[in-house]
A and B are shown apart, each in its own frame.
Chain A
Amino acid sequence: QVQLVESGGGVVQPGRSLRLSCVASGFTFSAYGMHWVRQAPGKGLEWVAVIWYDGSDKYYADSVKGRFTVSKDNSKKTLSLHLNNLRVEDTAVYYCATTREPAAPLDHWGQGTLVTVSS
């Protein structure tokens, strides 16, 4: 079955960087686009970024554009999110999720990894 396992979260100071990973199994990773979605403590879901199945296109939420970079290694079945110049408001659980195309649902989700930005 589909499994997505995120890692890389932790406590980091404002202005520092972090790299999150999402390792996939149980499906053809190279055929799927992948999203990152975050959820601040006690808040709703916020879309962060998406990368298409072959890595050809990437889109970002305005709140992270220029600071976060999404990448996908199909040979390693791994999705990454590089978080630079972190802010306190980036504190959240970060989820990776699968998708087929823009209007498609986010079919499967990982369990998330917590990023805490604090001085």
Chain B
Amino acid sequence: SFDLTQPPSVSVALGQTASLTCGGDNIKTKDVHWYQQKPGQAPLLVIYRDYNRPSGIPERFSGSKSGNTATLTISRPQAGDEADYFCQVWDSSTAWVFGGGTKLTVL
């Protein structure tokens, strides 16, 4: 089966840059999507197909991919960006897969 690995938690100071990683074998051949989920709310798509931002998502959210790791970068995160972040891909043999999620804390 195909697995996506995310660190359980990431902390970042106000004004700094948060980098949330998502690792998986051969992830460079797959489209990676990122979702933000705040407590008690449904997930929200923030990055699709590696680096594209949906309408309404602030420019401080960006995505990239290198080797077997995709990264969601949040520049100068705000308190309101505190949330769980999940990466997701479609794998032809495993179907739709989510990473375990990363809890972002803004200090």
Number of interface residues of B (CB under 8 A): 26
Contact B30 A106 (CB under 8 A): no
Write out, one digit per residue, whether chain B residues 23-59 have a CB within 8 A of any chain A CB (1) or not (0): 0000000110101010001111100110000100000
Taking CB as reference atom, which chain A residue is nearest B41? Answer: A111
Contact A103 B31 (CB under 8 A): yes
CB < 8 Å neighbour of B100 from A44, A97, A112: A44
How far apart are the CA atoms of A35 and B49 in the complex, in Å? Answer: 18
New A-B pairs, 19, CB < 8 Å, besides A44-B98, A103-B89: A35-B96, A44-B86, A46-B98, A47-B95, A47-B97, A50-B96, A95-B42, A102-B92, A103-B90, A104-B31, A104-B90, A105-B48, A106-B35, A106-B43, A106-B45, A108-B45, A109-B43, A109-B44, A111-B42
Interface residues in chain B, defined as those with a beta carbon under 8 Å from any beta carbon in chain A: 30-31, 33, 35, 37, 41-45, 48-49, 54, 84, 86, 88-90, 92, 95-101
